[in-house]
Amino acid sequence: MDRRRVKGSTVMEVGPDGEATHKGFYLYDDKQKASVDPKLYNFIEKARSISDVSIDPKLVKLQEKDIVEMIFFPVVNEACRVLDEGIAVKVDDLDISAVMSMGFPPYRGGIIFWSDSLGSKYIYSRLEKWSKLYGEFFKPCAYLAARAAKGIPLSA
């Protein structure tokens, strides 16, 4: 079965209604506080079954910090490629675009500013580790590798 059809048909079973009707993926109480609708778990299991997707036991045990890093470090890596290729000239442009276009938290200062708070060596080491475990998607680019090797911030 086509995965796009799986998504649409199973979403309709759960009901995409949302906050206005107090139901959907989340249930809303009288004070508009959201909680996950237990039916959502059935939806997820059904979608996995139809799509023939299994859960990697290594990923189930990830801490919240690891999940955040696995989502954003590839974005940092791509930002490094953009800088290296001259697509963006200033890191401030990347920081502003991350906040304005992808909803990166403004209090973090932008993707590069946040990255510098963690350090290029740390980001490189995590991406390198994940690339060995999970494949090329996480492979650090040459720009990031060079910055990490010299201990240079990405914003420098």
Q: Are 127 and 138 in contact (CB under 8 A)?
A: yes
Do residue 66 and residue 140 come from a single domain? Answer: yes
The residue among 56 and 39 whose pLDDT is bigger is 39
pLDDT band at 2 (very low <50, low <70, confident <90, very high): very low
Q: Is residue 156 part of a domain?
A: no
Domain membership of residue 128 (yes or no) is yes
pTM over 0.85: no
Q: What was the pLDDT predicted at 141? A: 97
Q: How many Å apart are CA 74 and CA 72, to the nearest integer?
A: 5
Ramachandran quadrant class, 52 (left: phi over 0; alpha: psi -120 to 50; beta: rest): left
How many domains is the chain partitioned into structurally? 2
Per-residue pLDDT tens over the stretch 53-84 = 777 776 677 889 999 999 999 999 999 999 99
Q: Which of 54, 69, 88 is the last residue of a domain?
A: 54
- The CATH number for 81's domain is 1.10.1040.50
